[in-house]
Structure 1
Amino acid sequence: MSRVQLEELRSVIHPPGKLDSRAEHWAGRLYMRSVSLRVTRLLLNTRWSPNQITGVMVVAGMLSGAALLIPGLGGAVLSVVFMQLYLLLDCVDGEVARWRKQFSPLGVYLDRLGAYLADAAVMVGMGFRASSLGLSPYLVAGLVAAIGVLLLKASSDLVHVARSDSGLAKATDQSVVPRSSGLARVRRLTSAVGIHRICNGIECTLLLLVAAIVDTARGDLTATRVVTVAVTAVVWVLVPAHVVSIVSSSRLKK
């Protein structure tokens, strides 16, 4: 198979509106889609299937959390590297699938499973890191944050399950907006501030890297522990707020 031209490839794997959609991560728009475009072109001449790429993505996400068990700045750097690899492969698997027209429920399932495992692994790794790999309230905080992140993701995915089981079409972006004008304003404000992003493994690993740099300069784990408590608090403020937002929107209405 001859190497496809980048512009031809881009027109297929980055269709109009793809990079501007709500589902597209800011890092994808900013830099990763430019990288993934070239990696995808290389993989098109291999036997790697989209699902195999997704499988490696899942492993990379879990390794990002495991890397946080390595003390010092090196562990934080390695965690960011694995999470960026996760993000890259999360772009590439879908791009290869779109070019080859190889779509499957298994691929969607693995992709969602990877998102659950990656973010939860980072939260657990964060707790272990803040507790110096011992038993402490910071370890509990990390585990509690992981549970909260799983609940945030599950509450969103359960909307699709509920609508599918009710024979309804997939919810649109418009149906996500709460019917209450007050709740809608709060949702727009939190979205603009972006505080919810630290519950995501990509942003959290970057934040933990900054904390590791501060900790290295100070010679302790104060910054990592502050981040751990802050992330856990934000997660558990968002969990009930997210559920209320879903119930008060049109997503569960016919």
Structure 2
Amino acid sequence: MADPSAGDGLRPPRPTLAEVRAVAQPPEVLARGNAEHWTGDLYLRRLSPYLTRVLIPTRLSANGVTALMMVAGWAAAGALLVPGLPGAVLGALLAQLQMLLDCSDGEVARWKGLSGPVGIFLDKVGHYTVEAAIALALGWRAAGLVGGAEQDPAQWFGYAFAGAVLATFLVLNKALNEMVHASRAAVGLGPLPDTAAARAVPARTVLGTLRRAARLLPVHRMFHSIEMTLVTVAVALVGVLLGEELAAARVQVVAMAVLVVPVTVGHASAILASGRLRREGRS
């Protein structure tokens, strides 16, 4: 079997940063409007070639990098079980590492010519499980079950349950996009273009007005691994300043469990109101 660290015979096994960027970050990847997280545009895509350059000469496949991404995300959720600001900061740092590895797995795949459905499947499993695990961890954090004071079972169960509700709606919200692709495929429609026009909601409707308002106050963006951990850092810091760390964590998980419900309903409504589930030329 060929050594996967040796490249494909056409590319050097130890490339320069410029070579990594040219092959692993083509314009069509950087231009993806809905697939790229804002941290990718802001800084992670600037940092990922350095990590990718280190990973390319190793025997680690792109799927192996995806596995590391999962581990980093699960570790972020585990870190949130540590009470107070230290656990929140560690969780946020690990979530950043998760997203950095998420950039690099695709770059390694493009460099080594190893892209395929298995990698896409693993990537989706990683994001679904990581974000659900972080939500569950926020519930346990609010319950004070790890490193906290002795809690009344009836009290801590409610906060743990709020974390479970948050996790359930997070997974449902993410699955709505997969349902669109599955529904289109079931009736013979092609892949949905990753463009703003394909996701547009009619402007002169109540839903269109709400969508514009959401751009000014993008609450829906809170429900991703990086955002959830950054919010947790901010909440933990407020808790430290007020001397009410556990109370702050409880307000956070309850508020998020409440907010995720209208966000999910709004997402489903936006899909139905857009042209994503319609045949071309039909209303």
TM-score (norm 1): 0.94
- Report whether the alignment pairs 1:159 with 2:180: yes
Query: Which amino acid letter does the alignment assign opposite residue 273 of structure 2?
Result: S
The match for 2:134 among 122, 134, 144 is 122
Number of aligned residues = 254
Matched-pair contact (CA < 8 Å) for 1:180–1:248: no
Is the CA contact (8 Å cut-off) linking 1:58 and 1:118 kept in structure 2? yes
Shift of 1:2: 4.9
Q: 1:18 aligns to what SS in structure 2?
A: helix
The corresponding residue for 2:93 is 81
CA contact (8 A) 1:128 1:138 kept: yes
- Tell whether the 8 Å contact from 1:179 to 1:250 is kept in structure 2 after alignment: no
User: Runs of 5+ in structure 1 lacking a partner?
Assistant: none
Q: After the TM superposition, which segments of 4 or more aligned residues of structure 1 sit over 4 Å from their partners? A: none
Residue equivalent to 2:212: 188
Matched residue SS, 2:201: coil
**How much has 1:192 moved relative to structure 2?**
3.9
Letter in 1 for 2:143: S
Matched, 1:204 2:215: no
Q: Which residue of 2 aligns with 1:219?
A: 243
Distance 2:28 2:176 in 1: 26
Structure 2 counterpart SS, 1:190 = helix
**Match among 52, 55, 65 for residue 53 of structure 1:** 65
Within the candidate set 11, 14, 27, 2:25 is matched to 14
Offset, 1:50: 0.4
Q: How far apart, in 1, do the equivalents of 2:60 and 2:221 lie?
A: 32
Matched, 1:243 2:268: yes
The correspondence of residues 31-42 of structure 1 with structure 2, limited to 5 A, is: 31-42=43-54
Q: Distance in 2 between matches of 1:72 and 1:45?
A: 40
Correspondence for 1:63? 75
> How far 1:162 moved relative to its partner?
1.1
Choose 1 or 2 for highest CA Rg: 2
Look up the SS of the partner of 2:29 in the other structure: coil
Deviation at 1:17, TM superposition (A): 4.5
For residues 60 and 165 of structure 2, what CA distance do their matches in structure 1 show?
37
RMSD: 1.6
For the residues of structure 2 that align with 1:195 and 1:59, how far apart are their CA atoms?
27
Q: Distance in 2 between matches of 1:247 and 1:235?
A: 19
Contact 2:202/2:274, CA 8 A, preserved across alignment: yes
Q: CA deviation at 1:180?
A: 5.9
Query: Match of 2:5?
Result: none
Q: Output the amino acid matched with 2:210.
A: V
Deviation at 1:146, TM superposition (A): 0.5
State the secondary structure of the residue aligned to 1:186. Answer: helix
Please report how far the alpha carbon of residue 137 of structure 1 lies from its aligned counterpart in structure 2 after TM superposition.
2.1
1:233: how far off?
1.8
Q: How much identity, in percent, do the aligned residues show?
A: 40
1:153 and 1:140, CA in 2 relative to 1: closer, same or farther beyond 3 A?
same
Distance apart, 1:188 and its partner CA: 3.0
Instruction: Indicate if the aligned counterparts of 2:13 and 2:56 stay in contact, CA closer than 8 A.
Output: no
How many Å apart are 1:242 and its aligned residue?
Answer: 0.8
Q: Which moved more, 1:184-193 or 1:42-51?
A: 184-193
